[in-house]
Amino acid sequence: KTGGEVELPLHITASGYETEEALNLDEVVVASYTTYFDPNVTGRNKNIELSAKAIEKVIVGVDDHFSFNTTVGPSDEEHGYQPAQEAVNGKLVMGIGGGICQTSSTLFNAVDQLAVDYVEWHHHSVAVGYVPAGRDATVSYGGKDFRFLNTTGVPFLIKTIYENSSLTVEIRTS
C-alpha cells in the first residue's frame, strides 16, 4: 500500500525577548571557531558565504531549538547557490550548494564549546579537510540536518565572519 498526503503542523512562535535585550547579545564572545578554504574555488566559497549570511545574527533563546536547514533554507540555484563539489555516498561529485557543510561544521565546532543538546547531527561519508575527523556536521536541505537545543540557560547570538579564505562563527551573549 502507498500512503496518502500527510499534513504536519508547523508552529512558529515569537521570541520571548524584547528588542532592547537583543541589542546587548553582541557584547561577549563565549565561543568561537574558524575554518579555512581555498579563496580560488569561487562557487564553493559563494555557497559558504550565502549560508553564513543566513545564520548571521540569529538569536537562539533559552530552550530554543536551532535547525540549520530551516534557518538557511534551500541551497539551490534559485537562491543563488553555485555548482561545487559535495560528498555523496562516499564520493565527491558536483552539485549545487557544495560547501554549505563547512558553514554547518564551523557552527557545530563553535556551539560544541557550550552546554547544548544535539537533536540531530550527522557526519560526512568522506573525510573533510576543514575540521578534524569526527568534528563535521553534514547537512542536506530536505534530508540530513544539524539541530541543537540551547540548554545553556542564556540566550545567545550567532555571528559569522566571512573573509577571503576563512569563516569564523562566534557565539555571543550579554
Contacts of 151 (CB under 8 A, 6+ apart): 63, 115, 116, 117
End-to-end distance of the chain based on CA atoms, in angstroms? 54
Q: Which tens digit of pLDDT belongs to each residue from 56-84?
A: 999 999 999 999 999 999 999 999 999 88
pTM for the structure as a whole: 0.88
Decide: helix, strand or coil at residue 48. helix
| Rounded Cα distance, 77 and 131, in Å | 27
Contacts of 40 (CB under 8 A, 6+ apart): none
Q: Looking at the DSSP assignment, which residues form a beta bridge with residue 168? A: 34, 161
Among 22-31, 97-106, 112-121, 144-153, whose mean pLDDT is lowest? 22-31
Q: With residue 45 as reference, give the H or E element that holds it.
A: helix 42-55
Span 28-56, average pLDDT? 96
